[in-house]
Amino acid sequence: MTTDRMLQFVRTEKAMPEKRGADARKEDFDEIYKAFSKEKATEQASRCSQCGVPFCQTNCPLHNNIPDWLMLTVEGRMEEAWEVSSATNSFPEICGRISPQDRLCEGNCVIEKGFDSVTIGAVEKHITETAFDNGWVKPPLPREERAETIGIIGAGPAGLAAADQLRRRGYQIEIYDRYDRVGGLLIYGIPGFKLEKHVVERREQLLRDAGVTFTLNTSIGEDITFAELKEKHDAVLIATGVYKARELGGNDDPMTGAMTGIVPALDYLTASNRIGLGDSLPEAEMASHSATGRDVVVIGGGDTAMDCVRTAIRQDAKSVTCVYRRDRANMPGSVREVMNAEEEGVVFEWLTQPDGFEGDDAVTAVRCSKIHLGQADATGRRVPQPIEGSGYSMKADLVIKALGFDPENLPEAFAEPRLKVSRWGTINIDWQSMMTSIDGVFAAGDIVRGASLVVWAVRDGQDAADRIDTWLKAKAAGADKIAS
Contacts to ligand FAD by CB under 6 A: 98-99, 153-159, 176-179, 184-185, 189-190, 194, 219-221, 239-241, 266, 269, 303-304, 307, 445-446, 452-455, 457
For ligand SF4, which is the closer residue by CB, 22 or 51? 51
For ligand FAD, which is the closer residue by CB, 46 or 240? 240
Closest distance of CB 434 from ligand SF4, Å: 29
- At 29, phi and psi to the nearest 5? -110, 20
Residues in binding contact with ligand SF4, number by CB under 6 A: 14
For ligand FAD, which is the closer residue by CB, 216 or 474? 216
Inter-residue contact 240 to 153 (CB < 8 Å):
yes
Q: Which does 221 bind (CB under 5 to 8 A by kind): ligand SF4, ligand FAD, none?
A: ligand FAD
Q: Does 71 bind ligand SF4 (CB under 6 A)?
A: no
Beta pairing, strands 235-238 & 149-153 = parallel
Dist. CA 425–CA 303, nearest whole Å = 22
Please pick, from the candidates 41, 84, 104, 111, the single residue that binds ligand SF4 as defined by CB under 6 A. 111
Q: Give the DSSP per-residue string, 40-88.
A: HHHHHHTT----SS-HHHHTSTT---HHHHHHHHHTT-HHHHHHHHHHH
Instruction: Show the site string, 43-62: x = touches ligand SF4 by CB under 6 A, - = not.
Output: -----xxxx--xxx------
Residues 6+ apart with CB under 8 A from 30: 20, 192, 193, 196
101 in helix, strand or coil? coil
Closest distance of CB 175 from ligand FAD, Å: 9
Closest distance of CB 396 from ligand SF4, Å: 44
Q: Does 109 bind ligand SF4 (CB under 6 A)?
A: yes
Dist. CA 380–CA 54, nearest whole Å = 28
Beta pairing, strands 382-386 & 398-401 = unpaired
Dist. CA 274–CA 14, nearest whole Å = 36
Residue 411: CB atoms within 10 Å: 17
Closest distance of CB 66 from ligand FAD, Å: 17
Q: Which does 118 bind (CB under 5 to 8 A by kind): ligand SF4, ligand FAD, none?
A: ligand SF4
Dist. CA 264–CA 254, nearest whole Å = 15
What is the footprint of ligand SF4 within residues 253-312 (CB under 6 A)?
none
Q: Does 81 bind ligand SF4 (CB under 6 A)?
A: no
Please pick, from the candidates 17, 61, 67, 191, the single residue that binds ligand SF4 as defined by CB under 6 A. 67
> Is residue 54 classed exposed, middle or buried when 0-12, 13-18 and 19+ CB atoms within 10 A define those classes?
buried
Residues 6+ apart with CB under 8 A from 418: 411, 437, 438
For ligand FAD, which is the closer residue by CB, 84 or 444? 444
Q: Which does 354 bind (CB under 5 to 8 A by kind): ligand FAD, ligand SF4, none?
A: none
Residues near ligand SF4 (CB under 6 A) are: 48-51, 54-56, 66-67, 109-111, 118, 120
